[in-house]
Structure 1
Amino acid sequence: MITVHIQPENETLEFATLNTVLQLLNRLKLRATHALIIRDGKLLTADRKLHYGDEIIVKKVISAG
């Protein structure tokens, strides 16, 4: 499982089959410019691979003003 923590909503999701950050963004219906994807304190680009057991933080950066 890949565990995804979405901020600022404090929502947690789990996915069994994700290969890349781009697939994660597509599942969440987000563009790469609308969120920061973080694993182990490091930012990930859309082409990076995800692995079983990863804990990912998705920080939405969309302005609401």
Structure 2
Amino acid sequence: MGKKIDAVVTGGMGVRAVQGLDQGGIKAYRAIPGTVADIVRQFIKGGLEEITVDNACAQHSCH
């Protein structure tokens, strides 16, 4: 208890969702193909792309 969420990992996310998370101090990262363990390892290494308003999904087919 008492831990703060500061990041989420997802396959894709729209601009409004990114903006909402950003307002709460939460960063979003784009998942890579693979297992959850693969994704966690890449996250820890800093190997996942951060999702920003500039590279967020523009259509529902992206997320």
TM-score (norm 2): 0.23
| Structure number, greater radius of gyration | 2
Q: Name the structure where helix makes up a greater proportion of residues.
A: 2
TM-score (norm 1): 0.23
